[in-house]
Amino acid sequence: MAGTNWKWHKIAETEAELGWQENNMCLVQAGDRKLTLARHQDQLFAFAWKCPHASGILADGYISAAGQVVCPLHRYRFDMQNGRNTSGEGYFLKVYRAERREDGIWVGWEEKPGWFSFGF
């Protein structure tokens, strides 16, 4: 299989430009996707803006001491690195890559080919 194709979007020149809340999260736009950006232990994390359970706005929740994002509606917890539901309900949170680079803050995701990419 061919190498992974990543689609990257610059979301800010610096972290200071972003609308950080006291809980170290903010909503950002990356291309056509609205995402949550979070800071925890000097790392950046990007993930879906709504909880997969009941669509709670994750940026209105909090980050636990264990580094999990906690939904404000029903307190479902998710690992910010892999999206795994750590409170046991079986949901998965869509996660993205977030990077600090010399030229700004970037968010990216893997582009998966559609059926049309295979010549059908």
pLDDT tens for the 120 residues of the chain, in order: 456 799 999 999 999 999 999 999 999 999 999 999 999 999 999 999 999 999 999 999 999 999 999 999 999 999 999 999 999 999 999 999 999 999 999 999 998 776 554 444
What is the separation of C-alpha 62 from the centre of its chain, rounded to a whole number of angstroms?
14
What pLDDT, on the 0 to 100 scale, is given for residue 109? Answer: 96
Q: How many domains does the chain have?
A: 1
Residue 52 lies in domain: 24-99
Q: How far apart are CA 109 and CA 7, in angstroms?
A: 6
Q: CB under 8 Å to 4, separation ≥6 — which residues?
A: 110
**In a domain? residue 77:** yes
Q: How far apart are CA 120 and CA 114, in angstroms?
A: 10
**In a domain? residue 59:** yes
**In a domain? residue 90:** yes
What pLDDT, on the 0 to 100 scale, is given for residue 64? Answer: 97
**In a domain? residue 88:** yes
